[in-house]
Chains A and B, each alone.
Chain A
Amino acid sequence: MQIHKIRHTVAALFAATLLAACGKEEPPPAPKVEAPKPPEVLTVKIGSASPLTGPQAHIGIDIRNGVQLAVEDLNAQGVEIGGKKVRFELVAEDDEANPTKATTVAQKLVDAKVAAVVGHFNSGASIPASKVYADAGIPQISPSSTNPDYTLKGFKTTFRVVAHDGQQGPTLARFALNQLKAKSIAVIDDSTAYGQGLADNFEATVKAMGGKIVAREHTTDKDTDFKAILTKIKGRKPDLIMFGGIDPQAGPMVKQMKDLGIKASFIGGDGMQTPNFIKLAGDAAEGAMASIPGLPKDQMPGGKAFLDKYKAKFNQEVELFAPMGYDAVFVLVEAMKRAGSAEPAKFLPEVGKTDHQGVIGPIAFDEKGDLKNGPITIYVVKGGQWTPLEVVKPEAAAGAPAQEAAAEKK
């Protein structure tokens, strides 16, 4: 096994070196090239923006890797747009999961003349950055931002390839009430656009369906001590605790729940459905549940092949959103092919008409740029592994009252 891994890595490294070499020297002096002069090659830059440093770096790097894999695959296939051979180039930027940094990075990508951007990871980063891309007329596909507001700004350039919290939150709520039969629920969020959005949507749906919320608490995305709020929640005796936030908080949180002797079940969104959560929570992770937009990794139509390819290339498992990042690039490139141009202004209208069979399944957008009918999967930690529990399709009818309820709150 070990040798295989190394062989793959060596092969990948070799391929990468070759690619890099091709990029630098204009007419490749490699003897393999038969044609004396290759036809004119158009370079199209694809931007990728996600946190590459900081506590969320593992998820951000995952997205970048997905985009990189897509770019390399496309270059290996050889793509022609409008009769010209095209070589794609990845421009990856680090937004540090910071909303302010995100706009700077967005401007940097615009200045680098990227044709399109795959990013950002955090809703809090995607939303402010979307204005920059919209002003420049560059399409932006977020692989992971689930805050409903992202596509509600009225920009023609914003798309996403995940179900949003307007779908995820209510799905979680229905699951909690119908399947888990939760009688009293406590809700905690991490005060970020993502966490609070998810928790708000969850709470609104639970209330609309006649469920009981016994406590609503907030923490931050930097905290590690939740004893005080958990103790308060313990006093309200909920049978389910819902957390809107990501794994660095969710992990210690379930650990502290166990220390405090809280018996309630724990459920959260996609931000905590990571291997890292299990590492951070240890034994306490057992039984925790989380929803994630899309199908289970290995149930995705292109899942198995993608996971193997990813592992061979990067020598690590897919964290979360690499398949979404990968598909986003293909969606963009297909739009370019249909439009016969890599000019953002020309191929942008085509992005909205996407009908793509991606790794994650069929991809099509509604008029806002949201993924149409994206499935949501509920996972549970069993034997130290995230295991799919149930796949839920968002129901249009059931989603509507929740969105109204959320709108009412604002």
Chain B
Amino acid sequence: MEIFAQQIVNGLVLGSIYALVALGYTMVYGILGLINFAHGDITMIGALVSLTLVQLLAAAGLPAPVVLGLAACGAMLVCAALGLSIERVAYRPLRRAPRLAPLITAIGVSILLQYSAALVWGKQYISLPSIIEPVRFTLFGAQMTLLQATIFLLACTIMGGLLWFIKASRMGRAMRATEQNPDVAGLMGVNTNTVIAFTFLLGSAIGAIAGLMVVLYYGIGHYFMGFMLGLKAFTAAVLGGIGNVAGAVLGGLLLGVIESLASGYIGDLTGGVLGSNYRDIFAFLVLVLVLVLRPSGLMGRHAGDRA
């Protein structure tokens, strides 16, 4: 039972990271109907920027909370700027193009980001100096660290904040209007370009936070880390219903738990035929099943109200 509880905790934390990344996918998809495949790599840039900042600032002897705060701000700024420029350069010119075109540029941008990062940071694994002493405690028999709890709460808080923002703020209303019909929203005086740019900015900044969390959690960064993370987060977004903010978080958490349980128990269930190295299969098996059985995802609206 203790082990089961531990696996659930592992899964929830892993899932929270997926959820943070998935928010970026889902927001952009909600507004533009575009799958921004570069989002995983924006997260990677956020992770590496914060890693470098932590390394530099910790070496300068600043206290840990200041280091983390500055690293988070720095990474968010870089990623927000990156998100804005990618939207301006790679997606806006193609907004009226067939749907396949922006998808291809998205993949192009993703590769561009990966190899630019490889040029800047090199192709080796970069390690994070340990700046915070992990605080460990036990919850329902499962070992947790304060960082794990923070990651989980952060994912929930950001989701809550986003839901409130979209529902209650002026910009949020503009976002909803753009989502329903960009042309009509434009006629009603909504500057859709600003709204879309803002969506990218916000999604990328959340991606930067996710990157910082990954770096803090695993203590390691790498130019290729955004690829698998992006795919998993995309799967999470689809699972929850792409375009739906709460769905992205639900999908992320669910995917994390499924993966964690799968790699914990697959060896025993298959009598050792499949090992825990097959756990990625489960993420994508879930993706296939969702697409076949419930294409709009767990919390998604029915497709078709947006042509």
Q: Name the segment of A120-128, A219-227, A265-273, A393-401 touching the other chain.
A: A219-227
Q: Which of B250-290 contact A (CB under 8 A)?
A: 259-265, 267, 272, 275-277, 279
Contact, CB under 8 Å: B277 / A219: yes
In the assembly, what is the distance between CA of A251 and CA of B147, in Å?
19
Q: Which of B123, B130, B259 contacts A228 (CB 8 A)?
A: B259
Q: Which of A218-250 contact B (CB under 8 A)?
A: 218-220, 222-225, 227-229, 231-232, 234-235, 248
In the assembly, what is the distance between CA of A251 and CA of B127, in Å?
9
A43: Cβ under 8 A from any B Cβ: no
Contact, CB under 8 Å: A252 / B218: yes
Majority secondary structure of chain B interface residues (helix, strand, loop or mixed): helix
Given contacts A224-B218, A248-B220, A251-B127, contact A229 B136 (CB under 8 A): no
Contact, CB under 8 Å: B143 / A228: no
Q: Which of B109-147 contact A (CB under 8 A)?
A: 122-125, 127, 129-130, 134, 136, 143, 145
B7: Cβ under 8 A from any A Cβ: yes
B205: Cβ under 8 A from any A Cβ: no
Q: Taking CB as reference atom, which chain B residue is nearest A190?
A: B277
Contact, CB under 8 Å: A248 / B10: no
Given contacts A252-B219, A279-B127, contact A222 B267 (CB under 8 A): no
| Chain A residues in 8 Å Cβ range of B145 | 259
In the assembly, what is the distance between CA of A224 and CA of B229, in Å?
11
Contact, CB under 8 Å: A217 / B130: no
Report the minimal beta-carbon distance from A277 to chain B, rounded to whole angstroms. Answer: 10
**Chain B 1-35 interface mask (CB, 8 Å, partner A; 1/0):** 01100110011011000000000000000000000
Contact, CB under 8 Å: A282 / B14: no
Q: Which of B6, B129, B259 contacts A260 (CB 8 A)?
A: B6
B39: Cβ under 8 A from any A Cβ: no
Q: Which of A218, A235, A255 contacts B219 (CB 8 A)?
A: A255
B228: Cβ under 8 A from any A Cβ: yes
Instruction: Please count how many residues in chain A sit with their CB below 8 Å of the partner chain's CB atoms.
Output: 35
| Chain A residues in 8 Å Cβ range of B3 | 231-232, 234-235
Contact, CB under 8 Å: B125 / A248: yes
Q: Name the segment of A8-16, A49-57, A146-154, A300-308 touching the other chain.
A: A49-57
Contact, CB under 8 Å: B220 / A228: no
Contact, CB under 8 Å: A261 / B136: yes
| Chain B residues in 8 Å Cβ range of A258 | 134
Q: Taking CB as reference atom, which chain A residue is nearest B274?
A: A218
In the assembly, what is the distance between CA of A10 and CA of B288, in Å?
59
11 A–B contact pairs at CB < 8 A?
Answer: A53-B123, A55-B123, A57-B124, A224-B225, A225-B218, A228-B7, A228-B11, A228-B260, A228-B276, A234-B3, A259-B143
Q: Which B residues are within 8 Å of any A CB, using their own CB?
A: 2-3, 6-7, 10-11, 13-14, 122-125, 127, 129-130, 134, 136, 143, 145, 148, 218-220, 222, 225, 228, 259-265, 267, 272, 275-277, 279
